[in-house]
A and B are shown apart, each in its own frame.
Chain A
């Protein structure tokens, strides 16, 4: 079974631009979560989507948004990029969400550099 895939793997953007990252979950997985990883802040939860609905949200500004499609694929968007948005963005998928906490499987990440 194919793992979680993320595209693109690397991205360089300029301050003020916007960016869209894509994540395809493991086949059959319906929950997708996004995380930001930086040397200073570590791994921080951005948001989770299940059945095309945002289920949980982390403490990030409104410039960070996401969505999920009917095939469970997900995208996240960052508008008006700032230097501090440079990070590894990781996507994770799991079978479902809610009361039972299933393990999440992570993709290889998208390395975003903002100059």
Chain B
């Protein structure tokens, strides 16, 4: 069975601090996809990144970076120099290669960035 675990329920940081959100997944598939989504208070999930299981290259997009390690089944997300606008709930998700329309979400990590 597929499962995504985000052990950190809530994280609180002060603006400009770096913060890492952890994501651990379980799957027996060799081909799968991993995602991160952001859910601000407005409620709409915003797509951040998609990674396939064959691409372990880390990715950086501005202040955001992602570290994918198959050896530890982890796909962690780091925000550098956090800002108040980063306050949101962040979800990690997994999909099987033949079930692209079905995302399996973790429980989410609520990030609060204080000024």
A contact residues vs B (CB 8 Å cutoff): 31-33, 35, 42-45, 48, 50, 55-56, 58, 88, 90, 92, 94, 96-109, 111
Contact = CB atoms under 8 A, between A and B. Distances in A.
Contacts, number: 74
Describe A's contact surface by its main secondary structure.
strand
Contacts of A50: 101
Contacts of A55: 99, 101
B11 interface: no
A33 B96 CA distance: 15
Given A42-B108, A43-B91, A106 B45 contact: yes
A88 B39 CA distance: 12
Given A88-B43, A102-B100, A43 B105 contact: yes
B55 interface: no
Given A98-B100, A105-B47, 14 more contacts: A42-B107, A43-B103, A45-B103, A45-B104, A48-B101, A48-B102, A50-B101, A55-B101, A96-B100, A97-B100, A99-B98, A104-B103, A106-B37, A108-B44
Contact of B44 (A42, A104, A109): A109
Contacts of B100: 31, 94, 96-102
A56 B50 contact: no
B102 A103 contact: no
B44 A33 contact: no
Interface string B6-21: 0000000000000000
A101 B95 contact: yes
